[in-house]
Structure 1
Amino acid sequence: MAAAKSEVQVRIHHLNCGTDCPLGGRLFDGVSKGLTGRLVCHCLLIESDQHGLILVDTGYGLQDVACPHAPPSARITRTMRTILNIRLREEETACRQVERLGYRCEDVQHIVLTHLDFDHAGGLDDFPQARIHLMGAEYDAAIGPRHGFVTRNRYRPAQWGTADRWRRYGARGEKWFGFGAVRDLEGLPPEILLVPLPGHTWGHAGVAIHRAGGWLLHAGDAYFYRGEMREATRRCPAGSRAYQMMMEVDRKARLENQQRLRHLSIAHHDDVRILCAHDRTEFDRAIEGRLL
């Protein structure tokens, strides 16, 4: 079964938990007119009437901001700071945004991760009470040997807290619109699923949330640009296309999953809204309540 009627009411806040301004302008975001583009770190804060506060990804964290020039062995490598031209701002961290909504960071009880890249997991330690949910394949890849340029730069163990908070999953259960899915995440409502989408990383996953009006799928880095969804032919600026290729671990799997998502976004447009982690226009539309 693809979808069941939701009984648990959720409210979703769209948070930008980090800004990158890579050289290349519209070659990355499709709209900038200057020399630099603007990419966001689109995270979700879910208020559940029975399960408290739930984060989907964390973006950059307070310690990333406090130590912007840490040595390469620490939180974000100099290489990635340069490639992405990262702008670290305390007010953009998930922790500070949660506080501005009137909550404490300790009120976040669960974090569901699309993957463990430095720009998705930097805020984990800002939420010491939270149980962290992710695919087991992602955890294994992240804690294993970090050989090669991409692996050394993407996974930053200094950003992560103790392992006793981690809940790791393998794909199981009934399908979700033809995709494998992980249902019944420990301590979370049945309306929140992990949807494995490997390719960008070995354990990359989307996070599907059923709410009034249908499903919302946070597809993480399964795509980077809005033109890669909702249209029969893929469109993606050269800079974003090149970055996706640089960071992928399995091109065939990444492109196949992206194609399947593109089909989903067209065939089930009335049932599923899809967003990615870094497209600024998608984020702005979500804030305005007009996500396509």
Structure 2
Amino acid sequence: MNNKGNIVSLLIDHPAPQVRRFTLNRAERMNALDGPTLQSLNDAVRDCASAAGQVKVLVIRGSGRAFCAGNDLKWLASGVLADRAAHMRHQDLMQDTYERLESVPQIVLASINGYALAGGFELALACDVMIADEAAELGDEHIRRSLLPSGGSSQRLPRKLRLQRAMYYLVTGRRMTGREAADMGLAALAAPSLQLESITLELAQEIAQADALALASMKQMARRAMELPLSDGLRYERWMQHRYRTQSPSLEAGVQGFAGTTGS
């Protein structure tokens, strides 16, 4: 991973079986994303794509008092913004990294403490499930700096919230708390600060009990639901069901396990 001044900007550990955790480790910059850190995250997520059998859940969190404050503006101002090509490469890397999170077979949890702003908010939006400290502050603040999003919030937020609510946050740059995010359905859970880590890990372990192919298929089906008309989505679900029958013994085992009870 990236080293600068003997500090690794992305830490990777395995806090539980079949769970891999990525910790943004630039606490002195509120885990703001410079190019090397973003590349490290991109590489780490890419490496997980071929490890679906061994790793079922990814957790992304931030060190210190923030999840991620967005792009590192100091780093951008050091010469990246003045170089149009370099700036575009950084934006492309951000889009690619966040799309990787959506496409990897693992279920990706965002464990949000402190601040998730601008590009950090977009990072959280790209994850499959958000668990937020109830006092955390989340928001897309690009408009406050007369900037436009480059990490997908203009597209993902309206898909996760209704247009009116999404537009409100996009055009004002206002923040929401973790509790508010959960109440409106943007975050799955809001947790007390001291319980955020344990609740996230418990959820990761619960998810990791499921069949790896079933998890990957469920993720794929649910994400396609955001794009397809209902009739097309239902056909896609049937196609995925048939494919799953041919690729995994878990379907038969699951049915036998529930023999004698009601079910699907």
TM-score (norm 1): 0.30
Question: Where is the helix percentage greater, Structure 1 or Structure 2?
Answer: 2
Q: Greater strand share, 1 or 2?
A: 1
**Max Rg structure:** 2
